[in-house]
Each structure stands twice: as structure tokens, then as C-alpha cells.
Amino acid sequence: MEDETVKSPAAISSAGNTGSPRADQMVFFVYRPHDCYTNREAMDRWHELAASHAQVQAINVLKERGATPARRYLSEFATPYPTRLDTTEWFNHTLGVDRTPAVVLVSEDETPRVVSPSEQRSDNDRRRLLDVS
């Protein structure tokens, strides 16, 4: 896998992956590879969660340590979003998020928020919003 230039969320938002105008929010999907391709229901729920936010441009950011799990993820799950691969270190350093899985929303004012599916089975339909700052 080719190394990618490290970009801040603001730089990614400004540049975009499709040349479209800057969206109100960027969505970063944060996954460990084995979480991705072993739990399709969870992946579908995370994608639904991202799609539930209006005017969101979504970019999958895969926390991975090697090309093989990344390729396996990409072949296993098709998403309606442009996809980029970043290292665990880049994501943790840029947004300060060290847990997975999660969805990070970055608004135009560059304030990151984490949206995580509840880890308790009884709370599957609830989501937690936690400030990352």
C-alpha cells in the first residue's frame, strides 16, 4: 500500500476526494480490520448512522497495520463513500481517538465529535456522543 500524505481533517475537507464542494461535516469511520470483516451487521449500523446526518461527506478511514487486512476489508464491504486508508498512528495523533470502532464527525469549525454504537447489547439502538477535545 502506498504511503499517504498526512492531512488534517480541515485539509481533507477542503480538498475533498471527489472535487465536490466542501461539506458541512466530514465523517471518519474508524475500524480495526478484524472488526470490519467479521461483523457485517455492525458495519451496516455504522453506515446507517453516518447516513442519518444531513449534508455529510463520508470518508472511510481504516485503522490498519498492514495492506492485507486493508484489502480484505475493502473487498468485503462496499460503501457509498470515497475511501482512504490511514495508519493508526495518523488517526490517533490527528484526532486523539484511541478506541475503535467509532465514527468521528468533524464539523466546519473543526470540532471533532465521536459517535459510537453502544457496547451494551441492551442499548444497541442508542448512540453516545462524546467530545474529543
User: Which CATH number goes with the domain that contains 103?
Assistant: 3.40.30.10
User: The domain containing residue 62 runs over which residues?
Assistant: 23-131
* 39 within a domain of the structure (yes/no): yes
* 89 within a domain of the structure (yes/no): yes
Number of separate domains in the chain: 1
89-118: average pLDDT: 58
Grid cell, residue 91, equals 488517526
* 11 within a domain of the structure (yes/no): no
* 9 within a domain of the structure (yes/no): no
Neighbours of 69 (CB within 10 A): 18
* 122 within a domain of the structure (yes/no): yes
* 105 within a domain of the structure (yes/no): yes
> What per-residue confidence (pLDDT) applies to 48?
72
Residue 122 has pLDDT above 60, yes or no: no
What's the rounded Cα separation, in Å, for the pair 57 and 42?
A: 20
User: Rg for the chain (alpha carbons), in Å?
Assistant: 14
87-110: average pLDDT: 59
Grid cell, residue 107, equals 464539523
* 102 within a domain of the structure (yes/no): yes
Confidence of residue 128 (pLDDT cuts 50, 70, 90): very low
* 63 within a domain of the structure (yes/no): yes
